[in-house]
Amino acid sequence: MPKYCANLTWLFTERPLLERFAAAKEAGFDAVEILSPYDVNAQDIVNELAQYELKMALINCPPPNYTGGDQGFAAIPGVEDRFRRDFKRSLRYAKTLGAQHLHVMSGVAEGPDAREVLIDNLRWATAEAPKQSLTIEPINPDTMPGYFMNDFELARDIIDAVNAPNLRLQFDAFHAAKITGDVMTCWSACRDLTVHVQVAQAPDRNEPGPGVIDFPTFFAALDADGYAGWVSGEYKPKADTADGLDWIAPA
C-alpha cells in the first residue's frame, strides 16, 4: 500500500505554511514535502514536524532566485561556483529538517555542454553529500519551457553517467503523462531508478482522481513492483484541499 505524503507548497494553502502541518496530519498524511522552505526559520519547521509526528520527505535545491531568474542552474554552464555554494546551503536545510530527498533542479539550458555541466555538478554533489539522497525530475516543457531535464531517457542517461548510489529519479506522474502520454509504460521503464513519486491528474494538475491517468491502476502497480517510497500529492486543489482527498481513501 502506498505511503502518502502532502506537498505543503501546493496543498492546504488556505492556511499559512506553519499551520499546514496540522492539517496534513489531520488528513491522514505521515509525511510532507516543501519545495522551497528557505523563507521559514528551519527550527520552526522542525518544531511542527515533531509536534505532529511528520517526516520531511523532500525539498528542492537550489534556494529560490529572488531576482526572478529561472528555477535551478545545475545544468547551466558558467555558474558552477554558484551551484556549489547554493547546494551547500540547501544541504544544511535538508539535514536540519531531516529531509529524505533533495531534488536538484537543472534549470533552463540545452545541448551537450549543459549535459556535461549537469553531470559534473551532480558528481560533485553526490560526493559532497554521500549520505543524502539526491533526485532529478523530468519536467514537461509546457510547465517549464526550456528546462533541461525534460525527458525520462535523459534522466536515465544522466544517472548512469554520474554513477552514484545516492542519485536517483523523482517520478512525477503528471509530468510523465505530459511528456510520454503513457504513464504506465513510463513507470515500467523507470521503476528501477525511482525513489520518490509525485501525483496529479493531467492535463490540469488537479487531484489524482478520475481522468487521463488511471490512478487506481498506477497505485496498484507501485504495490506490485514493491515501491516503498512516498507518494506525494503535488497538485492544485479544485476547491478546499480537504474536500479533494478521496484519492488517499484506500490507505
CA dist 147 and 138 (Å) reads 9
Which amino acid belongs to residue 205?
Answer: R
Would residue 19 show up in a list of annotated catalytic residues for this protein?
no
Strands (E), the chain: 3-7, 31-34, 55-61, 101-104, 133-136, 167-172, 194-199, 230-233
Cβ partners under 8 Å of residue 117, min gap 6? 74, 75, 76, 77, 80, 109
3-state secondary structure of 111: coil
Which one is catalytic: 116, 137, 153, 207? 137
Torsion of CA 198, 203, 209, 214, to 10 degrees: -80
Which residue bears the cell 521503476?
191
| 53 assigned to active site | no
Contact 104, 122 (CB under 8 A): yes
List 33, 48, 207, 234, catalytic entry? 234
| Residue pair 95/128 in contact by the 8 Å Cβ criterion | no
Burial group, residue 78, by CB count within 10 angstroms (0-12, 13-18, 19+): exposed
Using the structure block, give the residue that is written with the C-alpha cell 545541448: 111
Residues marked as catalytic:
137, 234
